[in-house]
């Protein structure tokens, strides 16, 4: 990734205490999400960007201004970096009111100026009327808004958010997501947030960085990582359930198809010539590309990669029913799909019922074979 003079550029490398080997770029007005397993280095990256920790090796710059260059022995203080940081636990002062918590970031200004800026941010984050309340008198969503206002009150160059919605209920989460979208229209700065909730990342981020053990495995638009993961590790981080091993048979350029051997099936996938005939690969498919065959009225689409098995597990989730299909009756070969609950009822689906599905060609994605952990 070439270094950019606009936005935030980060390159970090170290072995201990937290292994890191990551390079990140976030443009002004862009929001990127860092996802990955706990302990994978995501929060450490935020802390290093904020100047709260230093890596063994690394470089950080914002709009062409160097904040960190370990090779030259340069490290700018957190205050000079003007970072807005929303901590996971919000880190509010329990004895201070909403207004006082926000003003605490402005002690270098005259009192009247502090009050004016705090009032402006209170209105922006929808806390009007709660100015004099203490943190214990606020809901989780309101405390999150106070933390966000405090992070923004000094006109930061970058906004960092660590699990910003983890402590709120689903209704509040949706409201805060909406408010963050609205906020982005007012401030044009790089925004980086860490999340364990894939829905947050998919709905809010312009790009996702998949990070594991401190290493950036892949970055790109959310749907690119979901539909075209570079490897099985990224696919698992994107919560893809249908990941299997197969062998490339050949490529049919005239039909734009690649043929793959899997179990006793010969699958047809969209053309993917980067994989050589005879190569063993991982392949994945989203549940939305797995189509249930109707028992009483088969359709023309049933001829596209038909697969047979039994219902191993069936879970009704309101309007949708989640099905774990045991391909060819083999419990270790689980294929996940989702159907409308009324479709499940109409087809009399139940555990041990025999079913058939089609794997749509366009949804089969091939990846280099990755050793299992």
How do residues 33-49 score in pLDDT, each as one tens digit? 999 998 889 999 999 99
The DSSP letter of residue 16 is S
Whether CATH 2.60.40 fits 243-285+363-368: no
Convert the pLDDT of each residue in 119-136 to its tens digit.
988 888 888 999 999 999
Q: Identify the pLDDT of residue 224.
A: 95
Burial class (CB in 10 A: 0-12, 13-18, 19+), 140: middle
4-31 exposure pattern, b = at least 16 Cβ within 10 A, e = fewer = eeebbbbbbbbeeebebbbbbbbbbebb
Per-residue pLDDT, averaged over 6-23, amounts to 93
Does residue 150 have a cis bond before it (omega within 30 degrees)? no
Report pLDDT for 218.
Answer: 96
What pLDDT score does 107 carry?
A: 83
* Domain 8-236 -> CATH class: alpha beta
Say whether pLDDT at 373 is over 70.
no
Spatial strand order of the sheet with 215-220 comes to 74-75, 65-69, 57-62, 8-14, 20-26, 215-220, 207-212, 31-35, 191-194, 158-162, 83-86
Q: What is the pLDDT of residue 3?
A: 64
In this prediction, residues 230-252 reach a mean pLDDT of 96
- Top-tier CATH class for 288-360: mainly beta
Mean pLDDT of the chain: 91
Q: Name the residue with higher pLDDT: 372 or 102.
A: 102
pLDDT 10s digits, 161-215:
998 887 777 777 888 888 888 888 888 899 999 998 899 999 999 999 999 999 9
Given its phi and psi angles, is residue 29 left (phi above 0), alpha (psi -120 to 50 degrees) or beta? left
**Is the predicted pLDDT of residue 301 greater than 60, yes or no?**
no
Position 275 pLDDT exceeds 90:
yes
Query: pTM for this structure?
Result: 0.89
Q: What is the mean pLDDT of residues 60-77?
A: 94
* Same fold for the pair 243-285+363-368 and 288-360: yes
Q: Please say if the pLDDT value at position 296 is more than 70.
A: no
Residue extents of the structural domains in the chain: 8-236, 243-285+363-368, 288-360
pLDDT at 1: 58
């Amino acid at each position: 990734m070439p270094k950019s003079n606009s936005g935030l550029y980060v390159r970090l490398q170290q072995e201990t205490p937290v292994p890191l080997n990551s390079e990140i770029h976030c443009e002004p007005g862009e929001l990127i999400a860092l996802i990955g397993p706990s302990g994978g280095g995501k929060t450490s990256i935020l802390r290093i960007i904020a100047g709260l920790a230093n890596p063994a090796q690394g470089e950080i710059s914002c709009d062409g201004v160097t904040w960190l260059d370990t090779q030259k022995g340069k490290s700018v203080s957190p205050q000079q970096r003007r970072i807005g940081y929303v901590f996971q636990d919000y880190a509010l002062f329990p004895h201070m009111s909403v207004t006082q918590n926000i003003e605490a970031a402005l002690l270098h200004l005259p009192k009247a100026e502090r009050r004016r800026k705090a009032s402006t941010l209170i209105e922006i984050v929808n806390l009007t009327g709660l100015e004099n309340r203490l943190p214990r008198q606020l809901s989780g969503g309101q405390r999150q808004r106070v933390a966000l206002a405090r992070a923004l009150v000094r006109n930061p160059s970058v906004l960092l958010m660590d699990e910003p919605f983890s402590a709120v209920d689903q209704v509040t989460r949706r409201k805060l997501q909406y408010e963050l979208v609205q906020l982005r229209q007012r401030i044009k700065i790089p925004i980086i947030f860490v999340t364990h909730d894939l829905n947050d990342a998919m709905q809010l981020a312009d790009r996702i960085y998949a990070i594991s053990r401190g290493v950036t495995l892949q970055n790109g638009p959310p749907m690119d990582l979901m539909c075209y993961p570079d490897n099985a590790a990224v696919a698992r981080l994107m919560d893809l359930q249908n990941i299997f091993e197969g062998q490339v048979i050949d490529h049919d350029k005239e039909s734009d198809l690649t043929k793959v051997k899997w179990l006793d099936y010969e699958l047809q996938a969209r053309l993917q010539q980067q994989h050589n005939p005879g190569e063993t690969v991982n392949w994945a498919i989203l549940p939305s590309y797995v189509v249930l065959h109707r028992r009483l009225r088969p359709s023309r689409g049933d001829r596209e990669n038909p697969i047979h098995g039994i219902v191993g597990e069936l879970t009704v989730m309101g309007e949708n029913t989640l099905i774990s299909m045991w391909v060819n009756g083999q419990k270790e070969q689980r294929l996940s799909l989702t159907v409308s609950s009324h479709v499940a009822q109409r087809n009399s689906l139940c555990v041990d019922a025999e079913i058939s599905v089609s794997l749509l060609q366009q949804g089969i994605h091939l990846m280099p074979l990755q050793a299992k952990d």
